[in-house]
Amino acid sequence: MALELTGLNPFAPLFVFLLVFVVMYALLAKLKLLGEQKYIHLLISFIIAIIFVAFTSTREIVIKATPWAAVLLVLVFFIMILVGFTQKKMDDVIGPWLGWVVIILLVLIFLIIFMKVLGYNILNFLGDFNNIVQDYPKIFGALAILVVAALASWVITRK
């Protein structure tokens, strides 16, 4: 039987505030983008957390993305445990590619949730996509050529 946690829904803005505040403070303190002043880190983290709580769309993105990110991290942890039990050296199996896979999956999760939460607003902002494609084929052709050129140059110049 699943645990019923719907009674915590009124506290969702508080949890979003705490999560965003702690993550932003940790990132600012670790990366030292604004120097070593802890009060500046606290102030910036507080302001960003307030912004996330004030707007319902940003709050919904955090609420919907957090469980998926947690599931992904648990899966990565179990994969590492499984590889650790089956291999003598973890470095042979788990290399830098695992970090890139996790980052790509997190970006995909974020994009899917972003489109799900803000999809209707984005479609209203962009208009009907079919009309855009029919009206501006030269622009999309040029964009397609730029994408192919960028991919080709990336493939040719990588080491």
pLDDT tens digits for range 27-65: 999 998 888 888 899 999 999 999 999 988 888 888 888
Report how far residue 48's alpha carbon sits from residue 40's, in angstroms, rounded to the nearest whole number. 12
Closest CA to 21 of 45, 54, 38: 45
Beta strand segments in 5-130, E: none
Query: Which of 106, 113, 107, 137 has the alpha carbon at shortest distance from 62?
Result: 113
Q: Tokens 């949890």 label which residue?
A: 15
Quick one: pLDDT band at residue 26, thresholds 50, 70, 90? very high
Under the banding of pLDDT at 50, 70 and 90, the label for residue 21 is very high
Please indicate, yes or no, whether the overall pTM of this predicted structure exceeds 0.85. no
